[in-house]
């Protein structure tokens, strides 16, 4: 293998350049061929901050019903908002689906949605779950609920979110950190209902009850309560639903069965929702898609696969039925979004890091 006097010619620059060019041409050709092979059908572009495989199933059903194809891009809500904004008039997105009140309000505030008037949406989406100007509409609901380890804490002592600040829970409460948009919206919700002074003392009381470092996700939080590492915690309803359904294994299923679920009365309800983008030239088709997703038949599918609640009622899932009923506190999602920034400030200032 001695190559000292005959060094092998390495791959030279032109060859590499040629390869790159070839790849580029091939990619371009592939795109063109795909375009040519298509019969012209109507296509809707959807940017979605939700990412559940089951959503795709619903878009397929919509296509079957209407013949309108859905092209999907799932991403992080904030990046999608930025993308629609910078793409401006060139944006291929017709519908923007976002998770959480704060983000829907942010996008509306940036003027990314066009107002839509639809009798069907007005009928199917409760007034507090849509933008008063018709720029966005909720599609699914989720509840920030309390999970309790009955061996450590008597579930009957917790009736409201305010009860989590009681000194009796000293050292037993575990919380997710303030980066969680679910917690941010809960604080915004309490701000609207109870005003700033009460909310501040509630945050302080809860933080005083926390002995473990703040968690970074909901599922480990629910597990910690079931295992008795915490007595009480706040989690989104669908995480417990998934565990109970055995989606994350048998061990999780049996852990979740040991949890006692408490809906504070009234309960804080958050949403995922959608609107038609400001520059969409297919507002009518886009509205049809949102109508389909918000309709009882479509919406139930959108919500249920992820153990979320449909816009009205409790859906048909046995697991959600077992959780029992809850009373929505009726706070407008739009106001919750507006208060997000204030909520984060209060959390940061009072030790909820």
Partner 1 sequence: MLLGLAVWLICLLALAPLIGLVQFAFSGAAAQPLDLGPGGLLQLGNTLTLLLLVGVIGAVLGTTTGWLTASCSFPGRRWLAIAQLLPLATPAYLLAATLVDLGSRNGLRVHGLAWSVLVLTLSTYSYVFLLGSESFAVSGRRQIEAARSLGVGPWGSFRRVALPMALPSIGAGIALSGMEVVNELGAVELLGVPTLSVGILQRWQNDGDPQGAVGLALAALVIVSVLVGAERQLRHRSRRWGMGSPGDRLQPWPLSGWRAALAQVITLSPPLLALGFPLLWAVSSWDQMHGESIQDLIALTLRSFALALLAALLTVAAGLVLAISKRWIPQVLLRRITFLAGMGYAVPGAVLALALMLLGGPWALSPLLLLVWGYADRFLAVAKGGLDAGLERIPPSVDEAATGLGCSWLKVLQRVHLPLLRGPLLVGALLVFVDTVKELPLTFALRPFDFDTLSVRVYQYASDERVGAALVPALLILLLGLAAAMALVPTLERQRGPH
The residues that touch partner 1, with contacts defined as CB under 8 A, are 1-5, 7-10, 12-13, 16-17, 19-20, 23-24, 27, 45, 51-53, 71-76, 78-79, 82-83, 85-88, 90, 92, 106, 177, 179, 184, 212-220, 223-224, 227, 229, 239, 247-252, 340-341, 344, 348-349, 353
**∠ at Cα 269 (268, 274), nearest 5°?**
150
CB distance 188 to 336 below 8 Å: yes
For partner 1, the closer of residues 209 and 236 by Cβ is 236
Q: Which residues are CB-neighbours of 284 under 8 A, at least 6 positions away?
A: none
Distance of closest approach, residue 276 Cβ to partner 1, in angstroms: 17
Helix, strand, coil distribution of the chain in percent, nearest 5: 50, 15, 35
The angle subtended at Cα 56 by Cα 29 and Cα 104, nearest 5°, is 105
The nearest distance, CB 123 to partner 1, in angstroms, is 31
Cβ distance to partner 1 smaller for residue 159 or 227: 227
In this complex, which beta carbon is closest to partner 1, that of residue 52 or of residue 314? 52
What is the nearest approach in angstroms of partner 1 to the Cβ of residue 7? 5
**Contact in structure between 223 and 249 (CB atoms under 8 Å):** no
Distance of CA 325 to the CA centre of its chain: 22
Nearest-approach distance from CB 315 to partner 1, in angstroms: 20
Of residues 74 and 163, the one with the C-beta less far from partner 1: 74
**Smallest gap, in angstroms, from Cβ of residue 236 to partner 1?**
10
Q: Is residue 89 a contact partner of residue 280, using CB atoms and an 8 Å limit? A: no
Is the N-terminal amide bond of 53 cis, ω within 30° of 0?
no
Nearer residue to partner 1 within complex by CB, 81 or 125 = 81
Distance of closest approach, residue 262 Cβ to partner 1, in angstroms: 21
Q: How far apart are CA 227 and CA 149, in angstroms?
A: 8
Using N-to-C axis directions, what is the helix angle for 53-66 and 296-304, rounded to 10°?
160
Q: With respect to partner 1, which residue has the nearer C-beta, 152 or 329?
A: 152
């Amino acid at each position: 293998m001695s190559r000292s006097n005959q060094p092998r010619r390495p791959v030279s620059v032109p060859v590499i350049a040629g390869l790159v060019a070839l790849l580029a041409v091939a990619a371009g050709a592939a795109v063109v061929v795909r375009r040519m092979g298509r019969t012209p059908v109507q296509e809707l572009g959807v940017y979605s901050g939700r990412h559940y495989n089951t959503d795709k199933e619903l878009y397929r059903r919509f296509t079957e019903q209407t013949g309108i194809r859905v092209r999907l891009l799932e991403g992080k809500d904030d990046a999608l908002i930025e993308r629609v904004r910078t793409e401006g008039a060139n944006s291929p997105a017709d519908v923007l689906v976002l998770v959480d009140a704060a983000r829907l309000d942010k996008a509306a505030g940036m003027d990314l949605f066009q107002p839509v008037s639809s009798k069907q949406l007005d009928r199917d989406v409760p007034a507090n779950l849509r933008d008063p100007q018709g720029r966005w509409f909720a599609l699914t609901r989720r509840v920030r609920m309390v999970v309790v380890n009955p061996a450590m804490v008597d579930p009957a002592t917790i009736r409201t979110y305010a009860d989590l600040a009681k000194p009796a829970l000293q050292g037993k409460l575990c919380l997710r950190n303030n980066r969680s948009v679910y917690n941010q919206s809960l604080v915004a919700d309490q701000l609207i209902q109870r005003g700033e002074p009460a909310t501040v003392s509630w945050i302080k009381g809860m933080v005083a009850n926390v002995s473990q470092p703040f968690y970074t996700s909901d599922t480990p939080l629910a597990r910690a309560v079931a295992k008795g590492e915490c007595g009480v915690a706040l989690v989104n309803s669908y995480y417990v639903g998934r565990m109970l359904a055995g989606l994350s294994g048998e061990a999780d299923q049996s852990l979740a069965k040991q949890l006692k679920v408490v809906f504070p009365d009234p309960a804080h309800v958050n949403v995922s929702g959608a609107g038609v983008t400001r520059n969409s030239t297919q507002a009518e088709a886009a509205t049809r898609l949102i109508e389909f997703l918000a309709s009882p038949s479509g919406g139930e599918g959108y919500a249920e696969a992820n153990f979320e609640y449909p816009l009205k009622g409790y859906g048909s899932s046995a697991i959600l039925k077992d959780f029992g009923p809850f009373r929505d506190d009726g706070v407008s999602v739009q106001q919750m979004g507006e208060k997000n920034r204030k909520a984060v400030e209060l959390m940061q200032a009072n030790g909820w890091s």
